[in-house]
Chain A
Amino acid sequence: KNQVEQSPQSLIILEGKNCTLQCNYTVSPFSNLRWYKQDTGRGPVSLTIMTFSENTKSNGRYTATLDADTKQSSLHITASQLSDSASYICVVSPNSNYQLIWGAGTKLIIKP
């Protein structure tokens, strides 16, 4: 069964610290993997997208990695800011353009 699992469910860190969020998937075949940021009360916004041949992609202080062999991805946030408080969602797409497998997300809270 196609599944995307994220860990941890929630995470609290101090402002300025780094953190890493995990995503494991069992989706097959595989087309691409995205990370979304969802602020409270808002819709998700795309942060990065990686295909099978890419193993790292950066967007400012956000760096996503992909290991297609182990079917794992991580999102590393450097020098966290209060505005990074949000849910981060991993989404995997099989070959179909219209099918997306969504993870439940990691809720990240940054404390001053």
Chain B
Amino acid sequence: NAGVTQTPKFQVLKTGQSMTLQCAQDMNHEYMSWYRQDPGMGLRLIHYSVGAGITDQGEVPNGYNVSRSTTEDFPLRLLSAAPSQTSVYFCASRYRDRGHYEQYFGPGTRLTVT
């Protein structure tokens, strides 16, 4: 299993540009999520999905869109990039095991918006 994969690993955007961060998992997990990680702060949830066709907002959803057409893929779209969206983005998937969930993270995408 490849686990959770993310592309690209690095990206530089100009203010106002749009782009899609790709995320895929091959573990057949129903639940997937996107986080951003900023220096000195805990991970913050952007959007999550509990299954194909179902998405919901997390803590910091503004400026981002998601869709979940398949169990495997969960892309994150930046509609009009802003410098405040400079961050490291992590995709994760998880499943329940013996009453607890186990969560697996991708390697991250480092995004810089100039």
Chain A residues proximal to chain B, CB less than 8 Å: 4, 32, 41-46, 49, 51, 89, 91, 97-98, 100-105
**Chain B residue with Cβ nearest A101:** B42
**Which chain A residue lies CB-closest to B103?**
A46
Could you list which residues of chain B lie within 8 angstroms of chain A, going by C-beta atoms? 4, 31, 40-45, 48, 50, 90, 92, 100-108
Q: A89-B42, A102-B43, A105-B42 are in contact. Are A49 and B108 (CB under 8 A)?
A: no
> What total of A-B pairs shows CB separation below 8 Å?
41
Extra inter-chain contacts (15) besides given A43-B4, A105-B42, CB under 8 Å: A4-B42, A32-B100, A41-B107, A41-B108, A43-B104, A43-B106, A44-B105, A45-B105, A89-B43, A100-B43, A100-B45, A102-B42, A102-B43, A102-B44, A104-B40
Chain B interface mostly:
strand
Q: Are A42 and B103 in contact (CB under 8 A)?
A: no
B107 touches A103 (CB 8 A): no
